[in-house]
């Protein structure tokens, strides 16, 4: 049995028709290509242990057992599969060592108080776990902002990434998934980290998630702050400071990420999200500046990309350029790839200039994707 590659970043996933399994709601965003390092076949080490949840002894058959406290209440959380199967990996790969035990089945999180199951959440049916790796089961994660312990579940992504999903519980022991809410309106079920699963945090308590995208040569980073129910976007940026990605949290890194998110959103027809990044001074061909509500901007972007000849394609190379204009305006040169994986060329041009401006509401894009004359 091999590991599936989860839907990881908000990067090329967006544009590569990512699977909805990794997302929440109707928005289905961005990148990390499918893993080029699939798991080797596993050798069966034990048979399937089938039993209904009510009848199974989760005390003995659970893969993980954690203890959560909420105020004056304490209760247990189990990672459990009534049909859990255990196999030994036949060879080593980035997600597991040879002969390591790999666990599969229909996993659930159970919260238990006084030996009674209070709450039950079904996990993704493709989730599997491998011992001695970040994706070895459920673990406690201490949120520095609220001081709460959360339940973190990792999954192998590639040799350079793990995805992580968080769960919490209210004082009555009812479990819930903690979503990541972006300012552009998109919602995410999980985030990508590096292969070691490390999640550093800023002095504010906001958590930092960074992972490397081979296709474009950047670390893509997000910072989110937990409010007790959701992770709220604090910042997003992209950087080539791979050893210290927090150094990339500057105007160039944040402007580049705003441009990248805008271009990838329109490339997969997420016009409502893309509209968030459009500056009010963007010029509509033949009609002047946009100066419209976000909903009107989304409608315009759809028309531009589907009717007006806008080449709303996936960016494959992006470089910052010195800006002769005001310091608040940053320039980028972007190259695109067509849907048949060919470089976009228009009138012998293979790259196109974009301006991104710093505004009180964040970085906004001032130029639309190129059009075919």
Are β-strands 218-226 and 207-213 bridged in parallel, bridged antiparallel, or unpaired? antiparallel
Residue spans of the domains in the chain: they are 12-249, 253-365
Q: What is the rounded CA–CA span in Å between residue 76 and residue 78?
A: 7
Question: What local confidence, expressed as pLDDT, does residue 282 receive?
Answer: 83
Question: What local confidence, expressed as pLDDT, does residue 293 receive?
Answer: 82
- Tens digit of each residue's pLDDT, the chain (373 residues): 444 433 344 444 433 333 333 333 333 333 333 344 555 555 543 333 333 444 458 878 899 999 999 989 999 999 999 999 999 999 999 999 999 999 999 999 999 998 899 999 999 999 999 999 999 999 999 999 999 999 999 999 999 999 999 999 999 999 999 999 999 999 999 999 999 999 999 999 999 999 999 888 899 999 999 999 999 999 999 999 999 999 999 999 999 999 999 999 999 999 999 999 999 888 766 555 666 788 889 999 999 999 999 999 999 999 999 877 667 899 999 999 998 999 999 998 999 999 999 999 999 999 999 998 7
Question: What local confidence, expressed as pLDDT, does residue 57 receive?
Answer: 80
DSSP three-state, residue 178:
strand
Question: What local confidence, expressed as pLDDT, does residue 16 receive?
Answer: 36
- CATH node for 253-365: 3.10.450.50
Q: What is the rounded CA–CA span in Å between residue 311 and residue 71?
A: 54
Q: What is the rounded CA–CA span in Å between residue 339 and residue 313?
A: 7
DSSP three-state, residue 264:
helix
H or E element: which one contains 220? Answer: strand 218-226
Q: What is the rounded CA–CA span in Å between residue 234 and residue 352?
A: 29
Cβ atoms of 18 and 30 within 8 Å: the answer is: yes
Q: What is the pTM of this model?
A: 0.85
Nearest to 367 by CA among 334, 337, 338, 339: 334
Question: What local confidence, expressed as pLDDT, does residue 49 receive?
Answer: 34
Rg of the chain over Cα atoms, rounded to whole angstroms, equals 23
Q: What is the rounded CA–CA span in Å between residue 152 and residue 145?
A: 16
Number of H helices, E strands in the chain: 5, 24
């Amino acid at each position: 049995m091999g590991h599936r590659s989860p839907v990881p970043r908000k990067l090329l996933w967006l544009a590569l028709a990512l699977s909805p399994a990794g997302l929440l709601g109707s928005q289905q965003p961005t990148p990390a290509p499918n893993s080029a390092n699939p798991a080797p076949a596993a050798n069966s080490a034990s048979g399937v242990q089938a039993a209904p949840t009510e009848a199974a002894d989760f005390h003995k058959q659970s893969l993980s057992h954690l203890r959560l406290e909420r105020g004056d209440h304490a209760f247990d959380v189990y990672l459990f599969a009534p049909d859990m199967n255990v196999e030994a990996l036949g060879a080593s790969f980035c997600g597991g060592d040879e002969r390591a035990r790999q666990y599969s089945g229909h996993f659930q999180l159970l919260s238990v108080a006084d030996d009674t199951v209070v709450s039950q959440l079904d996990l993704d049916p493709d989730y599997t776990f491998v011992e001695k790796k970040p994706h070895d089961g459920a673990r406690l994660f201490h949120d520095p902002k609220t001081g709460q312990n959360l339940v973190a579940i990792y999954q192998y992504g590639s040799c350079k990434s793990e995805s992580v999903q968080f769960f919490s519980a209210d004082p009555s022991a009812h479990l819930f998934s903690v979503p990541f809410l972006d300012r552009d309106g998109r919602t995410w079920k999980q985030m990508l980290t590096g292969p070691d699963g490390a999640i550093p945090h800023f002095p504010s308590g906001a958590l930092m998630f960074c992972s490397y995208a081979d296709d474009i040569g950047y670390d893509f980073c997000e910072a989110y702050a937990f409010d007790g129910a959701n992770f709220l976007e604090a910042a997003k940026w992209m950087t080539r400071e791979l050893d210290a990605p927090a150094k990339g949290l500057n105007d160039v890194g944040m402007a580049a990420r705003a441009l990248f998110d805008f271009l990838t959103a329109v490339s997969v027809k997420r016009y409502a999200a893309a509209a968030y990044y459009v500056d009010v001074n963007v010029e509509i061909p033949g009609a002047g500046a946009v100066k419209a509500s976000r909903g009107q901007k989304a409608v315009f972007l759809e028309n531009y990309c589907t009717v007006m000849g806008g080449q709303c394609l996936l960016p494959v190379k992006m470089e910052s350029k010195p800006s002769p204009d005001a310091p608040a305006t940053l320039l980028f040169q972007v190259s695109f790839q067509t849907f048949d994986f060919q470089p976009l060329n228009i009138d012998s041009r293979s790259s196109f200039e974009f301006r991104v401006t710093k505004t009180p509401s964040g970085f906004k894009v001032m130029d639309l994707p190129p059009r075919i004359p």
